Amino acid sequence: MNMFMSDLLLRANNVSVKIDQTEILRDINLTLSRNEIVTVIGPNGAGKTTLVRTLLGLINPSSGAIHRLESLQIGYMPQKLSFDTTIPLTVGRFLSLVEKNKTVVSKALAEINITHLSDAPIQAISGGELQRVLLTRALLKTPDLLVLDEPVQGVDISGQTELYELIADIKDHYHCGILMISHDLHLVMAKTDKVVCLNQHICCQGHPENISNHPAYRELFGDHHTPSIAIYTHHHDHSHDLSGSVVNTTTHPTANND
Amino acid sequence: MIELLLLPIVAGLAIVTVAGPLGSFIIWRRMAYFGDALAHSALLGVALGLWLTINLAVAATVGCVLIGAMLTLLQRQHRLETDSLLGILSHTCLSLGLIAVSLVDNIHVDLMAFLFGDILSVTDEEVIGILACSLVIVVVLMLLWRPLLSITVDEELAKVEGLPVEYLRLTLMLLIALIIALSMKVVGVLLITSLLIIPAAAARNLAKSPETMAIFASVIGFIGLLLGLTASYYVDIPAGPAVVACCAVMFALSLLSHRSS
């Protein structure tokens, strides 16, 4: 876990995915490294989740190859997880499926601030709480790579900011790489090192402030909704803020808007 | 009474003990139809066993495993969902099994015994076989309990976390095939799934954790077994159905207790 080594965790080479003859992803080239936050953005149906599932090894690419670091430990927080009500399962027991040691589990619960949920049936907690439980589970594996599929989905704005700060802290603490899917560029950009703009193929990728000026990005997000000029300006403000500050400071991006 | 019922009780106890946790898995993984299909394929296996004059329990297990494997292969195509596939496999197996049994005409076959069980006629060797196999199932379940529970909660998460999901799923399928072949003698192919599901369903209403649900299911199954066998002895009703009916009564009671708590 040398901070100064930019260790490569995972590399996708010309990966394409076809499902029932339909091409979902085309010629994806992507690298993920330790201590790096990569955010995949793209419109609905761009293949974001398929990309993540392919990188995780849940879907086999129809061509191309994915190279993973040997014995790469992945923590995965899926977009949603539905729990069958037939299984009596508390949050604590759910977490103990990955970690036998009860002290470790309760420490992890405390770290994510959800100690009070430990004895709650997992089917009974709210969407936002479940996100945190899933994050806790992903962290119990002390991952080299943390994969988050739309982590803020269904979480309100203040909760989103909080969750993103938590994710940034996690990166600093675990020195892991983080791959995140987002449909919401607005908040993600403040903390991310690399944005990958996806629409079946990678339209562009790079540092957030470069991306938001990239013609491919503007085409993808600018043309879709008319009021996006306003949103775009917003993003522009953010990259401005960012250019003056370190990526993982805990300033609220919204607080710096004019 | 006790001399007559001792062997059936020992055999039944062994079976309901493993039926508790396995039935819980069947409920959690929504495999009730799968259990039915396996049970019906066990009948087909028995028919083939009669034909080839090999050990019927072995033949039944082989039948179950073959159908389980066939289902796994059929699941690779995505046009039909598993429930439809099971509907096809299950009743095809039942029909083929009944046809095959009727074709084996050189020996007398008590079809009713296969369909509804004949626990009172269980022999020493059968009891030993049942005990041995039950022990194997219990040991495997204890060794693989956590990973099996993990793939049951979410297969994808388990796979990402590095568990051999396919292998675990196959193991569970084999264990269920084995218990079904074993319990054919007790309740017969038509009632096997109920012996797996009803005690576990009753336990669901009382349990707070997966482990307690599995244990409660075994206990409820055992009470059902004792009540059923006793009723069968005194009232002269068929033993297998009596056991299942007693389990069903306990399921009804568990619903009441769940509501009142």
Q: Residue A226: phi, psi to the nearest 5?
A: -60, -45
Chain B residues whose CB is inside 8 A of the A137 CB are: 157
Percent residues over pLDDT 90 in chain B: 41
Would you state the pLDDT for residue B107? 64
Nearest to A41 by CA among A192, A158, A240: A192
DSSP label at residue A42: -
Tell me the nearest-neighbour CA distance from B202 into chain A, angstroms.
11
Would you state the pLDDT for residue A78? 87
Who wins on pLDDT, B201 or A198?
B201
Of B150, B157, B208, Cβ closest to residue A88: B208
Nearest residue on chain A to B201, judged by CA atoms? A86
Cα–Cα distance, B71 to B63 (Å, whole number): 12
Site of tokens 């009382």 = B206
Would you state the pLDDT for residue B152? 93
The whole-number average pLDDT for the span A2-11 is 67
Helix (H, G, I), strand (E, B) or coil at A38: strand
Q: Which amino acid is at B88?
A: I
Of B150, B161, B209, Cβ closest to residue A88: B209
pLDDT digits (tens, 9 = 90+) for A77-120: 988 788 888 899 999 999 999 888 889 899 889 888 889 999 99
Who wins on pLDDT, A31 or B4?
A31
The whole-number average pLDDT for the span B7-32 is 93
The whole-number average pLDDT for the span B145-166 is 92
For the cut 60, the answer to whether the pLDDT of residue B257 exceeds it is: yes
pLDDT digits (tens, 9 = 90+) for B195-212: 999 999 999 999 999 999
pLDDT digits (tens, 9 = 90+) for A234-248: 333 333 334 334 333
For the cut 70, the answer to whether the pLDDT of residue A55 exceeds it is: yes
Who wins on pLDDT, A245 or B58?
B58
Would you state the pLDDT for residue A5? 47
Chain A residues whose CB is inside 8 A of the B30 CB are: 84, 86
pLDDT digits (tens, 9 = 90+) for A119-140: 999 999 988 788 889 999 999 9
* Residue B145 contacts A where some CB pair is shorter than 8 Å: no
Cα–Cα distance, B258 to A85 (Å, whole number): 15
With cut-offs at 50, 70 and 90, classify the pLDDT of residue A257.
Answer: very low
Asked if A93's CB is within 8 angstroms of B30's CB, the reply is no
Nearest residue on chain A to B149, judged by CA atoms? A97
List, in sequence order, every residue forming a beta bridge with A75; answer none if it has no partner: A146
For the cut 70, the answer to whether the pLDDT of residue A53 exceeds it is: yes
Would you state the pLDDT for residue B221? 95
Nearest to B118 by CA among B18, B258, B11, B2: B11
Q: CA torsion sign, A189 to A194 to A197 to A198? A: negative
The whole-number average pLDDT for the span A158-164 is 79
Percent residues over pLDDT 90 in chain A: 24
Would you state the pLDDT for residue A1? 42
